[in-house]
Amino acid sequence: MATSLKVAVIGAGLAGLTAARELQRESHQVVVFEKFHRLGGTWAYDPRVESDLLGVDPNRDIVHGSLYYSMRTNLPRELMSFTDFKFSEKVYCDPRKFPCHDEVLKFLEDFASTFELTKLIRFNTVVTEVEVVDSEILTKFVVESKTNGVHSVEVFDAVVVCNGHNTEPQLPTDIPGIETWSKNQMHSHNYRVPAPFLDQIVVIIGSGPSATDLSREIATVAKEVHMSSRSALVNTPKLVKCNNLWQHSKINYISADGTMTFQDGVSVEADIILYCTGYKYHVPFLKTNGMVCVRDKRIGPLYKHVFPPRLAPRLSFVGIPEKGFTFLTMELQSRWIANALSRKVLLPSEDEMLSDVDEYYQEMEEKGLQENHTHSLVKKPQYLEFLYAQSGMVMEKQIKDVIEYFTHCYVMAGFDGYMDAFLEKYGI
């Protein structure tokens, strides 16, 4: 017989909304805690920036969002859809295939109101602590929260962590001489508009979507923009698209006078460093007595990036994988969790799940992959297949075709051209 549980979902971004929907579908009693005054998480653009632009001061007032004003999606609508609620069939304010962030927010708001999720959300309510009370016969969670300063404590049967992982900057630790840098530096988490870079010589570290987008935007106002990335080849300084934007290899060293020299031999006297180097996992409220360990780029042990074996299925995480097709991945993870909680789906034993995680870590080691690749889905199409199998669903042919074509465009044209390549076939 199906079991109905009292479940706390932490966060009302994409992950929290999909979790709430699937849990509700399984008749669980759901409370969604959301510290912000509106839903959408990442997609609720927030123009504020933090007092510490690098985002490392533990005493700063944290701004959750990391979107920049001009940001457009880096995936087409077809790949930002739910299986039965398609972004490609909706238009709110921007009909493009790769729309602006406001269009995504409106889609999520529509999703929440269509499936009556908004009434489950407690806005302006931050979860300050989740303590696991775990014995041989019973697992419960004591959830402490604050709403406008008022403290509450409640007990839940299960917790789904959906607090996002694009807020705590990850900074490089291997730049020789960085400790002597006395000029400005910031992380892309605190970038909103290009105006502050007017007439500056800017060094951007990173090579992902944010580095690519921001370098082009900043080049429209800055004097010079120099991108530096580990993956760029040594000895290949190249002018990319704009006449004041260059691509370099890694920084070799920074001299005491602030001159920065890249491994390709070029030196610049930069005014500011902008780090587009990604984010760390951060779950400050979770107290599990060591059963779950959160380290910069790894949360573990997690069976298939979702369940900590010792506490499965009562504790789970949605949205931990990086660089995948987030909407689909989160929907399928949520369905798996909801079904596991109502015992429609059985998980392997604790020992089997732990062995699976151990094997996965060992495989990474054999391939020479660092810990920061733990939750990356790059080149792992089998993960989505696994999730489909858990939820008893089959990937639609149309979605399969779009994924294949999108991946093909990306491999052929890279960041510089994949959007145009995709639009050529699918139209704007």
Q: Which residues here bind ligand FAD, judged by CB under 6 A?
A: 10-16, 33-36, 41-43, 64, 66-67, 71, 73-75, 80, 126-127, 162-164, 166, 210, 285, 319, 326-327
Least distance CB 105 / ligand FAD (angstroms): 10
Backbone CA torsion sign across 72, 76, 79, 80: positive
Calpha distance 392→381 (Å, rounded):
17
Name the maximum alpha-carbon separation found in the chain. 71
Q: Select 11 or 308, whichever has its Cβ closest to ligand FAD.
A: 11
Distances (CA, A) of 321 to 162, 257, 289, 298: 12, 41, 24, 10
Q: Could you write out the DSSP letters of every residue in 50-68?
A: -SSTTS--TTSPPP-----
* Nearest-approach distance from CB 44 to ligand FAD, in angstroms: 7
Cβ proximity to ligand FAD: between 246 and 307 the closer is 307
Tell me the closest approach of the beta carbon of residue 427 to ligand FAD, in angstroms: 19
Looking at beta carbons only, is 125 or 229 nearer to ligand FAD?
A: 125
Q: Which residue's entry shows tokens 């880096």?
A: 74
Order of strands, sheet of 259-262, starting from the edge strand that comes earlier in the sequence: 251-254, 259-262, 267-269
Q: Which two tokens stand for residue 117?
A: 């999720």
Q: Which CB sits closer to ligand FAD, 34 or 157?
A: 34
Our CB check for ligand FAD shows the closer of 69 and 392 to be 69
User: Which residue, 111, 64, 135, is CA-closest to 284?
Assistant: 64
Residue closer to ligand FAD by CB (options 206, 319) is 319
User: In whole angstroms, how close is the CB of 315 to ligand FAD at the nearest point?
Assistant: 15
Q: How far is CA 288 from CA 129, 196, 375, in A?
A: 10, 43, 21
Q: Least distance to ligand FAD from the beta carbon of 327, Å?
A: 6
| 410 CA to centre of own chain | 19
Shortest Å distance, C-beta 32 to ligand FAD? 9
Of 185, 190, 180, 223, the C-alpha closest to 204 is: 185
d(CA 319, CA 62): 21
State the minimum distance, in angstroms, from the CB of residue 323 to ligand FAD. Answer: 9
Closer to ligand FAD by Cβ: residue 16 or 313: 16
CB 32 within 8 A of CB 16: yes
Name the helix (H) or strand (E) containing 111. Answer: helix 101-114
Smallest CA-to-CA distance from 322 within 203, 165, 113 is with 165
Nearer Cβ to ligand FAD (160/270): 160
Q: Which is nearer to ligand FAD, 152 or 235 (CB)?
A: 152
| Minimum gap (Å) between residue 29 Cβ and ligand FAD | 18
Which residues are CB-neighbours of 403 under 8 A, at least 6 positions away?
Answer: 79, 325, 381
Q: How far is the CB of 78 from ligand FAD (least distance, A)?
A: 11
